[in-house]
Structure 1
Amino acid sequence: MATTNPSEANVAVQSPTQPQPPLPGESEGTWPARRRIIDWLVIETRGERFIDNIFVEMCDKLVEAGVPVARATLHFRIHHPQWIGARILWRKGLAEAELDTYAYGVEDTTQYLSSPLRDFNEGAEEVRRRLDDPTSAGPDYPLYDELRAEGLTEYIIWPLLHTLGKRHAVTFASDRPGGFSSDDLAFLKDILPALALVSEIRLKNRFARTLLETYVGPHASEQILAGATTRGSGVTVGAAILICDLRDFTKLSDLWPRDDVIELLNGYFDAMSEPIERHGGEILKFMGDGLLAIFPLSNPCACSQLLGAIGEAQAALAVLNEENLRKGHDPLGYGIGVHVGDVMYGNIGSRRRLDFTVIGPAVNIASRLETLTKELKRPVLLSRAFVEKAGCAGQMENLGSYALRGLDEPVDVFAFSRKK
C-alpha cells in the first residue's frame, strides 16, 4: 500500500531469453502472455515499493492479454493498532486503486457477516458465483447485487498464501457475458504464486515500519530504517521538551479492577497524545503512567505548537474527568514540565537492546519541573528559557526561582496565569 517503505534489495535476475514451453494447464494461445506477466511480477517490479501500484499494473496487463477482468481486489490482514485489515480495489479503466482500511470489530458488522468474504475466512478455498445466471447455486449476497448493477457477470475469491500459511484473499470479477472461461481461470491461478511473493515482501516491509512507528514514533522509525541502529549513534538537536505524569496512579491501580485501570490509562494517553501529535510533537516514550515528547526547534513554531498541544490536552482531560465523575471515580490529576534546550537524540542502551530517545540536562530540567508541580499545586510548570523562547511571558505567572535537584543554579519557574 502507498507508504514510505524501504526499497527491496536489487537482486539481479535475468528474464528468459528463449521461448519456454507452456506451463501445465496452459493453452498454446495464452502461455506467452501468462509467462510474461509472471516474469514481470517476479523480476521487473523490484523498483516499485507499493503493492497497490503493482496490482493496478498487473490488472491492466491481464486486460491487455485478453483476460476479461473488470474488477479485482486484494484483502490483507494487517498488524496495526487501529486496523485489522485493508483492501485494495481496482476497476478497469482507472489509473489508481482505491485503498480502504477496516477497524477491529468489522467481523461483527452486518456488512461482513452477509458477505462472501466471510465464507472465505471460514475456510473456503474458493468462493465463486456466476452473476448473470439466475440458476447459479449459492447464497445471493448483497455484494452480488452491487456487482450486477456494475455490469459484472462472474465473481471469484481465492486465497493468496504467504509464509507459514498466512492466508489473505484476492478476488476477480468479469464483465464478459458468460464470465470467465476455463483458460481465463487457469491464467489467473497461475499468476497467484508470483503475486503472493511480491505482495508478501511489501506487506512485511510495511509491517516493519508500522511496528516501529507504533513503538518509537514516526520520526525515530524513519531514522532507524535509514540505518541509525548503532549504539551511541545520534545527533544533537534543539527541542522544546514536554514531560507529563499521572498523579496517584499507584493508588488507583491498587484500588481499581485491572480492566478499569487499563481503560483509564488509555483514555489519559489518548487525551495527551493526540494533541501532541496533531501539533507536530514526537512522543518518544511512554513511561508507565507518564510520557516524554519533543517538539524540534527546526520548526520555528515548535514552542507555540507545544503550548497549543497542552491547551487541547487539558480540555480533553477535563472531558475525561467529567466522564470519570459520572462513573463515580475521582478526577485524574497530572503534572506537566516544559523546558527548551539541546538534547542528544539517538540510540542508547546495551549491546543487544537499544532505546531511541533523548537525553541531556534539558530533559532533566523538564523532569524536575514536572516533579515540582506536586509541591506547587500547579498542573503545568515552564522554565524561563522556554517562556522567553516562546515569547509568551505575558500569558504566564512568574512563580519565582526554585532549586531543582541536580542543578547548581536555581531555575525561574512559570505557570499559566490563573483565570479570575
Structure 2
Amino acid sequence: MTASDVHLAPGQRLGDEVVDWLTNGTRDERFIDNIFGQMCVRLQRAGIPVMRASLHVQINHPQWLGARMLWSDGMEGAEIARVDYDVRERSEYIGSPASEIVDGAEEIRENLARDPELGRQHAVYDDMRAMGLTDYVAWPIYHTLGKRHIVTFATDRHGGFDHAHIDALRRLVPVLALVSEIRIKNRLARTLLETYVGPHAGEMVLAGATRRGSGETVRAAIMICDLRDFTKISDNWPRDDVIDLLNGYFDAMVEPITQHGGEILKFIGDGLLAIFPLSQPDACANLLHAVTGARQAMAELNARHAESGRAPLRYGIGIHVGDVMYGNIGSRSRLDFTVIGPAVNMASRMEALTKQVGRPVLMSRAFAELVEGPFALERVGEFPVRGFSDPIELFAFEG
C-alpha cells in the first residue's frame, strides 16, 4: 500500500490517524515496546510503507546503558535487546547512524538502492541492503533536559519513501517523544527503586507506601554479613582497588541471595542486610542455599586474589529469624525502606560473635529449628549477647 492508495478526508494528512492514536489511544499501555510495535503496524495500514523500524533509548541501568526496540514487517510487537555500556567502543556503533545522531545530526537519510560506494559506509547499511530495503531515515527523539534518543524507519518500496511518507513520519516523531518519555521514565523510576531499595520494597513504594512510619510486621529469616579487616584495607589500598574489591565481594554475596529469593535491603559500608520472608516456601532453606553459594563464590574470588598476590578476604555472617517492622523510617524529608526490631539486632550481634567463636557463619537455634533440607548443622554452644539478658544458643555448618 502506498500514499496514493489511501483515501484521505478533506484536510486530513497522511498518518494523522496514527498521531491521534498515539496521543489519545495509548493511555492504558504501560510498555513502550508494545506501543512502538503497534504504531508501526498502524503506519503500514495508513499507507506508509514501513518495513523495519527501531527505537533506541538510554535507560542507565547498573548493568546496561539502554535498549534497542526492533520491529520488522509481520511483527505485532517489538523485540528488545539490551545495550551494554561499552557499545560506543564497538565497530557496530562507530560510524553508525546512531553515532551520528548522538553526535548531533538532526536527520540521517540514506538511499539504500544506489551503489553502496556512493553512500555512507557502514555494516548496518549493508545489512539493510541484504534485506532488500531501499530507503532509511533516522531522527533524534528529544526528552526533557536535552536527553536524546533515536528512532529509525526503513522501507523496501521501489524509489524509497516519498515526500508524503517522510512528512508523516517527521510529524509523528514529537508525539512519539512525549509518549515514550512517560514510559521510559516510569521504567527508569522502577529500575532505580529496584537498584537502590530492592524489587519488593520498590514495588511497595511505587504502590504508595511512602508515608513515614508506614509499614508492616513481617516474619523473616534475617542475614547480616560483614567483611573483616576492611578498615585496614581501605587505609592502605588505592581507592580504585578498594572499590574493585568491594564490588567483587558484593557480587559474590548478593547474586546467590537474589537467586534464592532473598531481598537485599541495605549495604552498610562493607556489610549487607538481607531478609527471606517466611511467607515464601522454604525461606530458611533458601537462605542457607544462598549462603552456600556465597561461600563458594567467595572461595573462587579468594583464589583469584591469591593469583594476584592479594590476601584472602574474610567475612562473618549472622543468621536469625523473627518478627521485624518492614517499612519507612527516617526524617520528614529523607526516608529509608528497611527492617528494624530485636531480631535484626540479634542477627547483628551474632555476626559480631563470628570473630569470637571462629566460625564464619553462625545461626540461632530459632533459625536452625526451621531449616529443612540437606544441611549438616552442629551446635556451637551458648554465648552472652550484648544488649540481651539471656545467652543465645548458636549453630554452624559442620566441619
TM-score category, normalised to shorter length: over 0.9
Q: For 1:184-203, what per-residue CA distance to the aligned partner results, in whole angstroms no more than 9, with x for missing partners?
A: 10010011111100000111
> What does residue 385 of structure 1 align with?
366
> How well do the aligned residues superpose, as a CA RMSD in angstroms?
1.6
C-alpha change, 1:79 and 1:46, in structure 2 (3 Å) is: same
Amino acid at match of 2:153: F
Kept in 2: contact 1:129–1:137 (CA 8 A):
no
> What does residue 231 of structure 1 align with?
212
Kept in 1: contact 2:14–2:164 (CA 8 A):
no
| Inter-partner Cα distance in structure 2 for 1:390 and 1:36 | 61
1:257-276 to structure 2, matched below 5 A, reads 257-276=238-257
**Aligned equivalent of 1:203, options 184, 190, 193:** 184
**Aligned equivalent of 1:117, options 95, 98, 101:** 98
> What does residue 107 of structure 1 align with?
88
**Aligned equivalent of 2:174, options 193, 218, 221:** 193
Quick check: 258-267 or 112-121, which moved more?
A: 112-121
Q: CA deviation at 1:31?
A: 3.0
Matched, 1:31 2:3: no
| Inter-partner Cα distance in structure 2 for 1:68 and 1:151 | 13
Amino acid at match of 2:252: A
SS at match of 2:15: helix
| Inter-partner Cα distance in structure 1 for 2:53 and 2:117 | 21
Amino acid at match of 1:142: A
1:400-411 to structure 2, matched below 5 A, reads 400-411=381-392
Q: TM-score, normalised by structure 2?
A: 0.95
SS at match of 2:293: helix
Kept in 2: contact 1:387–1:393 (CA 8 A):
no
| Inter-partner Cα distance in structure 2 for 1:392 and 1:73 | 49
**Aligned equivalent of 2:194, options 213, 220, 223:** 213
Kept in 1: contact 2:111–2:119 (CA 8 A):
no
The number of residue pairs the alignment matches comes to 392
SS at match of 1:128: strand
Kept in 2: contact 1:130–1:136 (CA 8 A):
no
Identity within the alignment, %: 59
> What does residue 330 of structure 1 align with?
311
Matched, 1:307 2:288: yes
| Inter-partner Cα distance in structure 1 for 2:166 and 2:100 | 20
Unaligned runs of 5+ in 1: 1-26
Q: TM-score, normalised by structure 1?
A: 0.91
Kept in 1: contact 2:375–2:397 (CA 8 A):
no
| Inter-partner Cα distance in structure 1 for 2:306 and 2:255 | 22
Amino acid at match of 1:122: D
Kept in 2: contact 1:212–1:218 (CA 8 A):
yes
| Inter-partner Cα distance in structure 2 for 1:53 and 1:89 | 11
1:10-409 to structure 2, matched below 5 A, reads 31-134=12-115, 137-391=118-372, 395-409=376-390
Unaligned runs of 5+ in 2: 1-7
Q: CA deviation at 1:210?
A: 0.8
Quick check: 384-393 or 352-361, which moved more?
A: 384-393
Kept in 1: contact 2:264–2:273 (CA 8 A):
yes
SS at match of 2:345: helix
Q: For 1:318-352, what per-residue CA distance to the aligned partner results, in whole angstroms no more than 9, with x for missing partners?
A: 11111111111111000000011111100011111
Quick check: 241-250 or 36-45, which moved more?
A: 36-45
Kept in 1: contact 2:282–2:372 (CA 8 A):
no
Q: For 1:61-105, what per-residue CA distance to the aligned partner results, in whole angstroms no more than 9, with x for missing partners?
A: 110111110000000111210111210001111122110011111
SS at match of 1:292: strand
Amino acid at match of 1:217: G
Q: CA deviation at 1:391?
A: 3.8
C-alpha change, 1:47 and 1:33, in structure 2 (3 Å) is: farther
> What does residue 11 of structure 1 align with?
none
